Chains A and B, each alone.
Chain A
Amino acid sequence: MILLQGVDRIYNAGRPDECAALKDVDLTVAAGELVALSGVSGSGKTTLLSLVGALIKPTRGRIEVAGQSIAKLPDAHASRFRHRTVGFIFQHHNLFPELTVQDNLLAPLVPSQLSSRDEQARIAQALEQAAIAHKAGQTVRDLSGGERQRCAIARALVTNPELILCDEPTAHLDQANTEMFAAILMALKEAGKTVLMATHDPRLEKLKCVDRVVHLAGGKIVDR
């Protein structure tokens, strides 16, 4: 599902503030696998997720996701790739605070040009999966941190992507919401989704549904 070979990502190359976020990274993730990326802040976890999600491009190396080479994909094609293949759960959720939960889920469906009935069916299913159906009509601004997180999960699932990328999904969650997130992860795993999750939360690393923990330090994979 995911293949990275010899991947470097250098920010501000050739400038005094040059920063090598990833160095010579090789990583393979099979379809249906749930892999946790662990490491301290600045170890390159988010950069790696961004590369796999075609949000940024590598300075060197080969990246394939779902059989498609994405390392040099032009932006318009990268958008289509993300829409078709990837669901993101961002650390800060990146929701539209003024819109309702339902409308936040509608936004990623717009390019799909589904019928209104299909859109509503997809939204209802994603809300159910993320256990946030009871807040469908509420604006995101009025939700608690845990509810926002579940809204973000529902948005990631609404396009029915093969790959879910999660960036520090429990960073702002209490114990109860973390457990709820763990249950959702388990359900995703059972549904055959591939999940790549950056976290430094040891509770998530120890979950039974996590197949592998990959440790990053200084932009390199140090332990698998």
Chain B
Amino acid sequence: MILLTGEVITFLVLEGVLLILLMVATAVAVPILRHWDFQATSDRQYAREKRAYLVGLVITFALGAKIILLPFFAHTLDRLATVVPGAMCAAGVINANGYGFPLLGWKLGVLVLSGVWLLVNRRDVQATEFPHLKPKLGLFLVIAGAVLVETVLDVLYLTGISTLTPVQCCSIIYGVASPAGGLPWGLDTQILLPLFYLVYLLAMVLSAARYLVLNFLANLGFLVLGYLAVVYFFGTYVYQLPTHQCPFCMLQPEYFWVGYLLWGTLFFGTFFGMAGWLVRLLTGRAVADTGRWCMVLLTVFTVVCTLYPLVYRLRNGVWLT
């Protein structure tokens, strides 16, 4: 049974513990949100302020742990490929039932919200008047609901993986003959690569200049372009195989786990690029250092991506075609 795999047990136990923490935090946060009045000087308000600080710490821990759990989830899927027939990597496992891809998307959404919450919380605890407490706790309630749904999806997905029914491997799912085998919107790599570098430069300039809305849009664009560029161009150099376009195989040790670095820097880099505007929406002010983090992470991502074809060309004297 798939649930008896060590990684799955660890993952579900951790998710369960974090869900409990977040539900307890919800139970504490709701009355704080309902009765909050910073101007009041009653013992009850002072007690609320203490609880608000404590609940903020608990949420910070739980959401921070959930962010760390996402790569562990990817690792778990990768390990399950050894027990799910037909699967060669996490791609086959995630496609093992209808919950896999929606769950992955949901997790990424929760991650974005959690990241925004952590930034808003940081700003709130740095101030002396809890200025962002209400939007912070309001956002937390949305996240708590999303985490509840996520945990249900976790259980439905992991209990729905059969160790008897064969699944498609990544060569089928992401092969050149599959529906995902070609670039969307009529793009080809001749257009994709200049666009990729152009939007990267645009994101750098906008991050430095702190144009928040434009930077949000540029990073959203770069998230999509970065994904496509890795899957349809740079990834083929990672695998040294022009027909292999799997976004998951690069998480394996054969490829030095470079997928964690590429997807991690792309996702967190674009998150920081977008977070400036999202945080300003909630708090009225941007966060000072998100642009810097965006620039560092996306530069690491772009440099690592670029090195793969260059090193291949230097070693072999030809490009992959």
Question: Which B residues between 107 and 140 are near A, CB-CB below 8 angstroms?
Answer: 125, 128-130
Tally inter-chain residue pairs, CB-CB below 8 A: 29
Q: CB-nearest residue of chain B relative to A14?
A: B42
Tell whether B50 is near chain A: CB-to-CB under 8 Å: yes
Interface size class on chain A is 10 to 19
CA distance A71 to B128 in the complex (A): 11
Q: What size tier do the contact residues of chain B reach?
A: 10 to 19
Report how far A59 CA is from B46 CA in the complex, Å. Answer: 10
List residues 1-52 of chain A with CB under 8 A from any CB of chain B.
11-14
Q: Within 8 Å CB of B53, what residues of A?
A: 74-76
Residue A99 is within 8 A (CB to CB) of chain B in the complex: no
B49 touches A74 (CB 8 A): yes
Asked whether any CB of chain B lies closer than 8 Å to the CB of A72, the reply is yes
Contacts of B130 in A (CB 8 A): 74
The 0/1 profile, CB within 8 Å of A marked 1, for residues 22-51 of chain B is 000000000000000010011100100110
Q: Does B128 contact A77, Cβ atoms closer than 8 Å?
A: yes
Cα-based distance from A57 to B41 in the complex (angstroms): 8
Query: Do A57 and B46 contact each other (CB < 8 Å), given the known contacts A74-B53, A75-B53, A77-B128?
Result: yes
Is B42 within 8 A of A13, CB to CB?
A: yes
The complex places the Cα of A11 from the Cα of B125 at a distance, in Å, of 27
A76 to B38, CA, bound (A): 16
Interface centre among B42, B46, B128 (most CB of A within 10 A): B128
Q: What residues on B are CB-neighbors of A14 within 8 Å?
A: 42
CA distance A14 to B38 in the complex (A): 19
Say if the beta carbon of A60 comes within 8 Å of chain B.
yes
Name the residue on B nearest A60 (C-beta): B41
B50 touches A75 (CB 8 A): yes
CA distance A45 to B50 in the complex (A): 25
Most buried by B among A14, A71, A74: A74
Check if B128 sits within 8 Å of A13, measured CB to CB. Answer: no
- Contact (Cβ within 8 A) A75 B43: no
Q: Considering the complex, which residues of chain A in the window 68-98 have a beta carbon less than 8 Å from any beta carbon of chain B? A: 71-77
Residues of chain A with a CB closer than 8 A to B125's CB: 74, 76
Expressed in whole angstroms, the Cα–Cα distance for A169 and B129 within the complex equals 34
Chain B positions within 8 Å of A, measured between CB atoms, are: 38, 41-43, 46, 49-50, 53, 125, 128-130
Q: What are 28 A-B contacts defined by CB distance under 8 Å?
A: A11-B43, A13-B42, A13-B43, A14-B42, A57-B41, A57-B46, A58-B41, A59-B41, A59-B42, A60-B41, A71-B41, A72-B38, A72-B41, A72-B128, A72-B129, A73-B128, A74-B49, A74-B53, A74-B125, A74-B128, A74-B129, A74-B130, A75-B49, A75-B50, A75-B53, A76-B53, A76-B125, A77-B128
